[in-house]
Structure 1
């Protein structure tokens, strides 16, 4: 299997990784709710989103995690798990990717993972990292298209293998771990429906909504140019994001403004303007006209070039 050889980036100084079709766009993380819960009666989070002309129903079921005091809690995958998964996918692109029985995954050590998290400014201790991995293994994600032609139900990480504390002590903190990625990630790798993006830039963005927007732009805004602005609507975009919509339109507008201002600071977009849709005097939606920064345009051009090489390499492998 040469899939990870194909997606591996040689541009080390820019530290690129890949966005995944569908999987990275669906609102699968929980940002704005209490992460831990003990109430099973209403534990399933249901969301809806529209992607590439299709309507999807998303169900997020929390992981059941046993704490040190033997109490069990329900934990949803949140920002911690989102960052962790991005780092693991970056390690896969750097040569740690592993295909086992046709399923894409990554091999790593806990200290290697912790070191990379610290490098990007997310310093979790080993217990937090192991808990996050268990949350990704225990939490379930369902994605169902309205026409019922697409249905997937799986945990975020269907298989994990971790080294124990006793093993690490006996082997001087050396021990290999393994994570199998979600089937949607595996499918995207096989179908080559992924795109390169600047991992370092993404990880420097502290706002989860701005980071989500940056990754979404990197995947879908393939003709980024002043003549081809990005034009999301407030209601549709936030409704498809893990943030979801607030009851007050003013809070939604403020959240979008904060995220877009961060993207200007990071030289991803150069400017934006609002077109307010009103019903009488009341604002009911906002359309955004977003123009890219030249740095982002250059990134997209590199990504487009890389994609052509990936397709060419895949065709060559299939023909040999």
Structure 2
């Protein structure tokens, strides 16, 4: 699956023009980059996991649509040595959850602030554990050293198998993880998987307002990312439309048979965007099959504030892509007469 992890002292580090220029674009605002499929696929688990007596978990199998294509995701949980509680000292399986999602987004944020590197020809980031702890604390998320190391190991050890009509791959969210040790007591590093690496090299990383997103609940953050990804999200003349069941499936949430609890969750998420003055109004309508309610259709009208934000994001995205393309290709050659 993934290559064997190395100590940071053994990893070849370099930067390149695309990485440097992309970082300079991102530094202009409260943005971070996301690879859309990597950011939006339902790879996280929210809720209480049901274990067997020896600490095992079932693989997660999830079906969702992405860009109009049916997709299947299989998430095999990571095996990590537990340091406390009932399973202390044992190798126990863990899903990636809210904490791992926060850590992962913080890693990408540090990568865009000048700490991103090409590590053994793969996009990654060199950081200290204190930086991640401080970054999460700045956005109201508390984590200690033991839990941070555990989350990094869960991100490293999780296996994701993705299948669509056109693409199939199996990888971990992190291809490599190097933690501080006696040779290198201060720095850690990770290498991101081929989705994120490819998005950087192909200039297809999408921007979103990281500062706003990290202060939001899970569903509100997902919705913010989804609207930011949509090139038509900044259109005030029409609402952003989505359906409850596909959205929750893409977000990794279980669908309640009566849907009422799911509606309450999503209503709260949309209201969170409204409180943040990103949404001016919204409504939802029932979708029925006979007398049975099978789904809900949501319509969300972005506020003028959010529209301006999305326009800035799209402009930065377009300017950055043009700038990177020009710098990589070099200036145009003057044709002599």
Q: Say whether the fold is shared (TM-score over 0.5).
A: yes
1:232 aligned onto 2:242: yes
Tell me the residue number matched to 2:169: 152
Tell me the residue number matched to 1:93: 112
Report the secondary structure of 1:65's partner residue: strand
For the residues of structure 1 that align with 2:317 and 2:178, how far apart are their CA atoms?
32
For the residues of structure 1 that align with 2:127 and 2:98, how far apart are their CA atoms?
21
1:310 aligned onto 2:320: yes
Deviation, 1:40, is 7.5
1:80 paired residue among 68, 74, 99: 99
2:82 paired residue among 67, 90, 93: 67
Report the secondary structure of 1:94's partner residue: helix
Structure with higher Rg: it is 2
The TM-score normalised by the length of structure 2 is 0.86
Tell me the residue number matched to 1:103: 122
Q: 1:39 to 1:23 in 2, by over 3 A?
A: farther
Q: 1:36 to 1:77 in 2, by over 3 A?
A: farther
Q: Which runs of 5+ in 2 are unaligned?
A: 1-15, 331-337
Deviation, 1:155, is 1.0
Report the secondary structure of 2:227's partner residue: helix
Name which of structure 1's ranges 282-291 and 131-140 shifts more when overlaid on structure 2.
Answer: 282-291
2:188 paired residue among 174, 177, 187: 177
Q: Which runs of 5+ in 1 are unaligned?
A: 169-173
For residues 121-140 of structure 1, the aligned pairs below 5 Å read 121-140=140-159
Q: Is the 8 A contact 1:144 1:151 kept in 2?
A: yes
Q: 1:295 to 1:35 in 2, by over 3 A?
A: farther
Q: 1:12 to 1:105 in 2, by over 3 A?
A: closer
Q: Is the 8 A contact 2:38 2:196 kept in 1?
A: yes
Q: 1:219 to 1:39 in 2, by over 3 A?
A: farther
1:273 aligned onto 2:283: yes
Q: 1:11 to 1:158 in 2, by over 3 A?
A: closer
For the residues of structure 2 that align with 1:265 and 1:49, how far apart are their CA atoms?
29
What is the number of equivalent residue pairs in this alignment?
A: 311
Q: Deviations over 1:145-188 (max 9, x none)?
A: 1x2x3112111111010103x668xxxxx611110012111111
For the residues of structure 2 that align with 1:151 and 1:213, how far apart are their CA atoms?
26
Q: Deviations over 1:196-226 (max 9, x none)?
A: 1111100111x21111111111112544222
Q: Deviations over 1:263-313 (max 9, x none)?
A: 111112111111211233332211111100112111111111111112212
Report the secondary structure of 1:115's partner residue: helix
1:56 aligned onto 2:89: no
Tell me the residue number matched to 1:194: 205
Q: Is the 8 A contact 2:26 2:113 kept in 1?
A: no
For the residues of structure 1 that align with 2:255 and 2:298, how far apart are their CA atoms?
16
**RMSD of equivalent CA atoms:** 2.0
The TM-score normalised by the length of structure 1 is 0.91
1:298 aligned onto 2:308: yes
Tell me the residue number matched to 1:162: 179
For the residues of structure 1 that align with 2:103 and 2:51, how far apart are their CA atoms?
18
Tell me the residue number matched to 1:171: none
Q: Is the 8 A contact 1:233 1:288 kept in 2?
A: yes
Tell me the residue number matched to 2:225: 215
